[in-house]
């Protein structure tokens, strides 16, 4: 029992913190602790230094990650899991690739090309072990918009209310150049690759952090609505005029759909309804049951595609019911061709949004798996991998590729360990490209539209997140609403830009109005807490302590000064005006003391949460010190970081100001000093 009591006493003592040290201002602490500012070096010096440290081997590993992880690949433990995962993902690639290729207004086989050529390159250069690269609905839709805008096809085009053949479309001077959809798509892919390589060279991988969760969520939901509306035509077997419009396309599409909604293809409607019901029942009932039994999901999309093809063949749906099919699918691999370089400057602006979206989606998914499974992702290397892969894909009839959330989740869930699963998937797709492709020529397009509709369920359900965003932050809720409305009503790329501007504006608004509060003292401690939140604090007589959080710059310096005056409840300018009226000394003193409740002699500003201060911000601190000094109130600062204190010293060196800033290490040091100074007076 004595031993236990001794341990309890020691624990009680350990919980009490006692500090016995001299009072420190910042300059004294720097002197006693031998502070030395780090030497700044030129960019060239840093590059040469890093090159000396890095060996050739490590440089190759950083550019070619496969050379590192493949040497450590545990074949006995991983290979079977990767084979199963690769087969499963390949099965998903077939229906998704063919369906999403239609979003890009390209032949369905293009989606399978995208799951083969770029994926092989990403295997060599990518750093994520679990993302499934290939077609992604939103990226394909954005590419399809560019393809529609700059290509000419045999279909009729609505211009000023008149249907014209592409060869009849002219501008004011010359005939418009005619490009095929594939030429435009490969030019887009090449340009996106160039943009991503440029971002890699400029080390702009961090730019993806500008796209917040709220922005990405709202953007993907708005884009999913575009995808949904684009599939109603095939889902119902409607014939819509082709419009070449850059903005408000969804509004025009809605008008066109309602204008012909009275005459759908009922056979296509029946096929679509049956396909959707079967796939939804699988997702809601069969998939949860199978998950308990085994990791292998039922490839319901592939079953729907194969079944639809067989029924179309044996019942001759195109001839008997005028159901539109996929059409000719060539066997073999496409011949490598150079992109149409004349198109690069034309599509460059549109490609910026595509490059950003494809990279951000891929990196977001890669980071999710990396955090879950505890390995590192190099954001800049991902830019390099995607850039090289897109450039290579542009020579083989590919659209810009990206990671797919559904395929990536399946690849990891069924046991995929590395990108070896992608090689297995590519091998199976190669067999399909060489021999099996023509089998799917009779596949009804309404079946592929049904696959897309069911796959959109997860994206459309993101609308539920608005409630959470709004409760967490009204600004985040506004960013979501602005992004969605602009994407849906105007266009996808303009919506992304509007969302980004709104998101940055919210950050700017928060930085312009930082958090400032009054602190009170916790008796018998050296703790100082917000008096509006902690009722057990007391206000020290004659001293006002303020806490500042955020940055201090030219944009918010006026707001900071206004908040200081309001919280301290003493305006130096008003006090000076009262003095100027030559009121009797006794009357003036009584008025001054009455307005401040006690004899205010010191203002302390806690800058421990100040993360940045520019010269204008530090200049505002000098102005505050000077203003309050003129009415005999001292202003001290506490808790500055080393970098902020260096900025203060630099400002003092070049500023002709007799009122230097006095900075203490902690608030308690500043309070102790202020009480001693007031006692001495």
Q: Considering just the CA atoms, what is the radius of gyration of the chain in Å?
A: 33
What tens digit of pLDDT does each residue of 629-670 get? Answer: 989 899 999 998 888 888 888 887 776 656 678 899 999 999
Q: What is the DSSP string of 465-489?
A: HHHHHHHH-HHHHHHHHHHHHHHHH
Residue 9 lies in a domain: no
CA distance 410 to 82: 12
Which residues, other chains included, contact 496 with Cβ-Cβ below 8 Å and sequence gap of 6+?
A: 219, 353, 356, 357, 483, 487
pLDDT tens, position by position, 10-59: 445 555 666 677 887 878 877 777 777 776 555 455 555 544 544 545 55
Phi and psi for 459 in degrees, rounded to 5?
-70, -40
Question: Taking the alpha carbons of 168, 171, 173, 178 in that order, is the dihedral positive or negative?
Answer: negative
Check pLDDT > 80 for residue 152.
no
In a shared domain, residues 527 and 450: no
pLDDT beyond 70 at 490 = yes
Identify whether residues 305 and 193 lie together within a single domain. Answer: yes
Same domain flag for 299 and 362:
yes
Q: What is the pLDDT of residues 71-97, one digit of tens each?
A: 888 888 889 889 988 998 998 899 999
Q: Is the pLDDT confidence value at 101 over 80?
A: yes
Listed residues 401, 430, 463: the one ending a domain: 463
Count of beta carbons in the 10 Å neighbourhood of residue 672:
15
Q: Which of 400, 434, 463 is the last residue of a domain?
A: 463
pLDDT score, position 515: 87
- In tens, the pLDDT along 343-396 reads 999 999 999 989 988 998 898 888 888 888 888 888 889 999 999 999 999 999
Asked if residue 1 is part of any domain, the answer here is no
The answer to whether residue 141 sits within a structural domain is yes
Residue 549 in domain: yes
Residues 375, 518, single domain; the answer is no
Same domain, 382 and 525: no
pLDDT the model gives residue 597: 42
Between 207 and 385, whose confidence is greater?
Answer: 385
Beta strands 515-521; 528-530: pairing state = antiparallel
**Rounded distance, CA 37 to CA 643, Å?**
9
Q: Is residue 592 part of a domain?
A: yes
pLDDT tens digits for 442-487? 999 999 999 989 888 888 888 999 999 999 989 999 999 999 999 9
Quick one: pLDDT at residue 33?
Answer: 78
Task: List own/partner pairs for 345-350 with CB under 8 A and 24 or more apart.
Answer: 346/150, 346/187, 347/146, 347/150, 347/184, 347/187, 347/188, 347/191, 348/191, 350/142, 350/145, 350/146, 350/149, 350/188, 350/493
Contact predicate 95/302, CB 8 Å? yes
C-alpha to C-alpha distances, 300 to 450, 536, 582, 624, 645, nearest whole angstrom? 12, 63, 91, 70, 64
Whole-angstrom CA distances from 154 to 58, 150, 181, 182, 444 are 53, 14, 11, 14, 20
172 in a structural domain: no
Whether residues 279 and 397 share a domain: the answer is yes
Q: What is the pLDDT of residue 584?
A: 53
Give the model confidence (pLDDT) of 268-287 as tens digits: 999 999 999 999 998 888 88
Nearest alpha-carbon partner for 574 in 631, 634, 517: 631
Quote the distance between the C-alpha of residue 80 and its chain's center.
35
In a domain, 385, yes or no: yes
* Alpha carbons 93 and 113: distance in angstroms, whole number: 10
In which domain, by residue range, is 579 found? 513-680
Residues 212 and 132 both lie in one domain: yes
Q: How far apart are CA 25 and CA 665, in angstroms?
A: 5
- The answer to whether residues 235 and 324 belong to one domain is yes
Beta bridge partners of 538: 521
User: Which pLDDT does position 274 carry in this prediction?
Assistant: 95
Shared-domain flag, residues 577 and 674: yes
457 with 549, same domain: the answer is no
Q: What is the CATH classification number for the domain harbouring 661?
A: 3.30.750.24
Could you say which DSSP state residue 154 is in? S
**Mean pLDDT value across the chain:** 84
Strands lying side by side in the sheet with 515-521? 528-530, 515-521, 543-552, 602-613, 634-638, 663-664
- The answer as to whether 18 is a domain residue is no
pLDDT at residue 61, as a whole number: 65
Residues 457 and 517 in one domain: no
Tally of domains in the chain: 2
Domain boundary among 463, 498, 525: 463
Contacts of 346 (CB under 8 A, 6+ apart): 150, 187
Specify the range with the lowest mean pLDDT, choosing from 172-181, 214-223, 239-248, 436-445: 172-181
> Which strand (E) or helix (H) includes residue 552?
strand 543-552
- Angle, helix 266-281 to helix 445-455, in steps of 10 degrees: 40
Who wins on pLDDT, 678 or 589?
678
| Same domain membership, residue 94 and residue 196 | yes
Higher per-residue confidence, 168 vs 306: 306
Determine the Cα–Cα distance for residues 109 and 326; give it in Å rounded to an integer. 9
Q: What is the mean pLDDT of residues 212-218?
A: 86
What is the structure's pLDDT at 151?
A: 86
Q: Please tell me the pTM assigned to this model.
A: 0.77
Judged against a pLDDT cut of 60, whether residue 157 lies above it is answered with no
Looking at residue 603, what is its pLDDT? 94
Alpha helices, DSSP H only, in 283-326?
A: 287-293, 300-315, 317-321
Query: C-alpha 243: how far from its chain's center?
Result: 32
């Amino acid at each position: 029992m004595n031993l236990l009591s001794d341990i309890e006493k020691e624990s009680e003592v350990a919980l009490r913190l006692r500090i016995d040290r001299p009072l420190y201002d910042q300059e004294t602490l720097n002197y006693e602790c031998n502070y030395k500012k780090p030497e700044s070096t030129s960019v060239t010096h840093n590059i040469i230094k890093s090159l000396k440290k890095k060996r050739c081997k490590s440089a190759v590993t950083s550019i070619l990650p496969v050379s590192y992880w493949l040497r450590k690949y545990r074949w006995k433990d991983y290979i079977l899991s990767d084979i199963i995962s690769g087969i499963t993902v390949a099965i998903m690639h077939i229906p998704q690739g063919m369906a999403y290729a239609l979003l890009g207004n390209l032949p369905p086989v293009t989606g399978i090309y995208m799951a083969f050529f770029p994926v092989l390159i990403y295997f060599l250069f990518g750093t994520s072990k679990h993302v499934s690269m290939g077609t992604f609905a939103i990226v394909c839709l954005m590419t399809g918009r560019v393809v529609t805008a700059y290509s000419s096809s045999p279909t009729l085009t609505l211009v000023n209310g008149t249907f014209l053949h592409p060869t009849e479309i002219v501008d004011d001077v010359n005939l418009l150049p005619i490009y095929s959809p594939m030429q435009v798509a490969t030019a887009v892919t090449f340009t996106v690759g160039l943009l991503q390589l440029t971002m890699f060279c400029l080390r702009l991988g961090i730019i993806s952090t500008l796209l917040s969760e709220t922005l990405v969520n709202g953007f993907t939901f708005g884009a999913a609505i575009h995808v949904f509306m684009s599939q109603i035509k095939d889902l119902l077997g409607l014939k819509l005029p082709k419009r070449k419009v850059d903005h408000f396309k969804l509004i025009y599409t809605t008008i066109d759909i309602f204008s012909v909604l009275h005459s759908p293809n009922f056979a296509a409607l029946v096929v679509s309804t049956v396909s959707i019901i079967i796939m939804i029942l699988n997702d809601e009932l069969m998939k949860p049951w199978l998950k308990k039994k085994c990791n292998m999901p039922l490839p319901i999309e592939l079953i729907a595609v194969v079944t639809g093809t067989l029924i179309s063949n044996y019942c001759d749906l195109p001839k008997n019911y005028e159901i539109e099919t996929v059409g000719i699918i060539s066997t073999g691999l496409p011949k490598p061709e150079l992109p149409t370089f004349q198109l690069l400057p034309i599509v460059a602006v549109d490609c910026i949004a595509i490059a950003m979206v494809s990279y951000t989606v891929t990196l977001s998914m890669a980071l999710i798996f990396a955090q879950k499974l505890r390995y590192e992702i190099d954001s800049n290397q991902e830019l390099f991998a995607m850039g090289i892969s897109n450039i290579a894909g542009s020579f083989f009839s590919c659209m810009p590729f990206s990671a797919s959330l559904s395929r990536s989740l399946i690849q990891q869930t069924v046991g995929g360990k590395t990108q070896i699963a992608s090689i297995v998937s590519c091998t199976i797709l190669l067999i399909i490209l060489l021999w099996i492709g023509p089998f799917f020529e009779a596949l009804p397009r309404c079946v592929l539209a049904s696959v897309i509709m069911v796959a959109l369920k997860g994206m459309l359900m993101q609308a539920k997140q608005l409630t959470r965003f709004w409760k967490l932050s009204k600004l985040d809720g506004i960013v979501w609403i602005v992004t969605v409305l602009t994407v849906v009503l105007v266009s996808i790329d303009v919506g992304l830009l509007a969302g980004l501007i709104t998101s940055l504006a919210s950050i700017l608004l928060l930085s312009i109005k930082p958090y400032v509060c009054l602190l009170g003292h916790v008796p018998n401690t050296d703790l100082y807490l917000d008096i509006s939140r902690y009722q057990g604090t007391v206000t020290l007589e004659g001293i006002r302590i303020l806490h500042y959080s955020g940055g201090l710059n030219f944009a918010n310096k006026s707001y900071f000064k206004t908040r200081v005056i309001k919280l301290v409840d003493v305006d130096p300018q008003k006090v000076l005006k009262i003095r100027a009226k030559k009121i009797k000394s006794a009357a003036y003193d009584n008025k001054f003391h009455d307005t401040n409740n006690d004899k205010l002699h010191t203002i302390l500003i806690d800058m421990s949460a100040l993360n940045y201060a520019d010269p204008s911000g530090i200049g505002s601190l000098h102005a505050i010190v000077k203003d309050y000094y003129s009415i005999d109130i001292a202003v001290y600062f506490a808790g500055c970081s080393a970098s902020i204190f260096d900025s203060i010293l630099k400002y003092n060196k070049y500023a002709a100001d007799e009122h230097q800033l006095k900075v203490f290490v902690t608030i308690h040091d500043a309070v102790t000093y202020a009480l001693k100074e007031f006692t001495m007076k």
